[in-house]
Chain A
Amino acid sequence: KNQVEQSPQSLIILEGKNCTLQCNYTVSPFSNLRWYKQDTGRGPVSLTIMTFSENTKSNGRYTATLDADTKQSSLHITASQLSDSASYICVVSDFYNQGGKLIFGQGTELSVKP
């Protein structure tokens, strides 16, 4: 069964600190991996999207890495801000559903405290 697992489930950090969120997936054959940010009560917003040939991609203070061999990804947030408080969701699509169904992880709830 294709699955996406994220850790930790929740995380509290102080403003200005860095943090790293983890994602493991079993989706095969793999097509691409995305990280989304979802504020409470809102729809997810895309941060990065990586294909199997990419191993790192940055978007401002967000840097995602991908190891397609071990089927692991991470999202690193640098110099956190209060507005980074949100759920961060790892999303994978398989080769046969590149334009269709996405498989979502359960999310990591990040809380940035002053």
Chain B
Amino acid sequence: DTGVSQDPRHKITKRGQNVTFRCDPISEHNRLYWYRQTLGQGPEFLTYFQNEAQLEKSRLLSDRFSAERPKGSFSTLEIQRTEQGDSAMYLCASSSAGTSYEQYFGPGTRLTVT
């Protein structure tokens, strides 16, 4: 494994359904980040973990959104009662604690809510 992987790559769901995305970071990285990106815009920060601890959450992360990283390895992002406004690319990134804090991004999960 040489990079961050995300699953699924694409998800189409009907409004009101729940969806869950998975992110597998680079194996030695202890930090994991979630971002949301809408068309034509840069990514927006949602939340990040150091090991299993969720250290910061954006105001964008409403109570319908929840993220976990139970064993400090992979992470899941769940959206409950999806709305059309949730349609976006959800990006995951990971980094190791170091002087550059370089974040390596996965390919993203494209969510379409119909």
Instruction: Identify the A interface with B (CB < 8 A).
Output: 4, 32, 36, 41-46, 49, 89, 91, 93, 97-107
Contacts and interface: CB of A to CB of B under 8 A. Distances in A.
A101 B48 CA distance: 8
Contacts of B65: none
24 contacts: A36-B105, A43-B106, A43-B108, A44-B91, A46-B102, A46-B103, A46-B104, A49-B100, A89-B42, A91-B42, A97-B56, A98-B101, A99-B31, A100-B31, A101-B56, A102-B33, A102-B43, A102-B45, A103-B45, A104-B35, A105-B42, A106-B42, A107-B40, A107-B42
Nearest to B98: A99
Interface of B: 4, 31, 33, 35, 40-45, 48, 50, 55-56, 58, 91, 93, 95, 97, 100-108, 110
Contacts of B45: 101-103
A49 B43 contact: no
Nearest 8 Cβ contacts at the A-B interface: A104-B42, A43-B105, A101-B45, A99-B101, A44-B105, A106-B42, A104-B43, A89-B42
Contacts of B41: 106-107
Contacts of B50: 99
A99 B53 CA distance: 14
A111 to B, nearest CB: 14
B73 to A, nearest CB: 18
A43 B101 contact: no
Contacts of B102: 46, 49
B91 A100 contact: no
B102 to A, nearest CB: 6
A46 B43 CA distance: 14
